[in-house]
Amino acid sequence: MGISAVILTGGRSRRLGGIHKPAVELAGVSVVSRILAAVRAVSAQAEVWVAGSPEGLSPAERATVHVAVESPRFGGPLAGLAAAVAEMEAAEAQEPQAAEAQATGAQAAEAQASEADTVFVLAGDIPLLDPAHLRALAAASAAAGAPAVSCDEWGRFQHLCAAWPARLLRDRVRSVGETADRPVRLLWEGAAPVAVAAEPGRLADIDTPEDLARLRATLEEGSSARGGQEADAAPPGLDW
């Protein structure tokens, strides 16, 4: 099973005072670098698309990813995903057609299998993302032939931490039509996703200065990887 990923980094981070959340460093490592490392731990050969700004990635990391920019800029996560999907399709279209025509039976079978490849769709502000959880998402998506969505400790779906069959994702993006400033939920209407529970705190995101301080304390003080969430804390929100 081939693995690709889209990391959505195009938000304004209004509730964090305009600081680019994916570039924030926690224990000396940026949030987006942590997410990229989690994906690479699942598949070292994963094709990764950063939808938005690559700020926060090292030069070496930037050399290993593709960058797509949503139109219009800051058009929302759905627009960012659509831009990445378009770039994926364009890259595939550039592959030599002659080589495809001469493919052996084994190569043809491999190409057919690639239709079932998995694409992670990930928000760019989830620093505690667990490779084991990503593997579980990919396995659930492949087994069901449907998207697999993360479920946090409050029973809430995090639709920007999900795994999709590649062909289905592309079909759904096309079916939405105009994507700028439209909600991500449109992608999921009628999708019948498989829910995959994450360990408590693993889906903690960064919306506010308080969120950032909590996660920074968790990582820099060596406390347990629970995102610093108290049992009765309110579930985190999304801030594109």
Q: For residue 188, what pLDDT band results from cuts at 50, 70 and 90?
A: very high
Inside any domain, residue 20: yes
Can you tell me the mean pLDDT for 192-198? 96
Question: Is 108 inside any structural domain?
Answer: no
- pLDDT at residue 14, as a whole number: 75
In a domain, 134, yes or no: yes
Spatial CB neighbours of 148, under 8 Å, sequence gap ≥ 6: 136, 137, 138, 140, 141, 162, 163, 164, 193, 194, 195, 196
Residue that wins the pLDDT comparison between 182 and 233: 182
- pLDDT band per the 50, 70, 90 thresholds, residue 72: confident
Note whether residue 14 is domain-resident.
yes
pLDDT of residue 219: 84
- Whether residue 11 is predicted with pLDDT greater than 80 in this model: the reply is no
156 found inside a domain: yes
Q: In what order do the strands lie in the sheet with 194-197?
A: 66-68, 47-52, 3-9, 118-123, 157-165, 148-151, 194-197
Window from 86-90, 100-104, 107-111, 170-174 with minimum mean pLDDT: 107-111
| Average pLDDT score over the chain | 85
Sign, CA dihedral 63-130-126-123, equals positive
Of 28-42, 67-81, 103-117, 224-238, minimum mean pLDDT range: 224-238
What CATH number did the domain enclosing 57 receive? 3.90.550.10
pTM of the model: 0.84
| Percent of the chain residues past pLDDT 70, beyond the cut | 82
Domain count of the chain? 1
Asked if the structure places residue 102 within a domain, the reply is: no
